[in-house]
Amino acid sequence: MTTIDTQTGRVLPPGSKIKSAISFDPNTERYDPATKQVVPRTPDPKHSLAYMVEQLAAKVAVLEQWKESQEARRT
């Protein structure tokens, strides 16, 4: 568990008795300073497998085009 003072944004030691403090699990939640609330941690879409496969497929397509252009130059 992590405890943050919502007024200053500072991380507090465990067991702090400050009224503006909020506790949350940093592995599954995060503190949003804009709303001053704890929100579920959403995964970054750039870390998803689908995004990585899409990026890799785009790179493969570019390499295939390059390979074809190199073969066309040889003939």
SS3 content of the chain, % helix, strand, coil (to 5): 40, 25, 35
Element of type H or E holding 40: strand 37-40
Domains contained in the chain, number: 2
Residues 6, 36 within the same domain = yes
Is 17 a residue whose pLDDT tops 90? Answer: no
Is 13 a residue whose pLDDT tops 80? Answer: yes
Residues 35, 50 within the same domain = no
Tell me what pLDDT residue 70 has. Answer: 93
Residues 14, 36 within the same domain = yes
Q: Which domain holds residue 19?
A: 2-40
| pLDDT tens, residue by residue, 39-66 | 888 777 777 888 899 999 999 999 999 9
Residues 56, 31 within the same domain = no
Tell me what pLDDT residue 6 has. Answer: 85
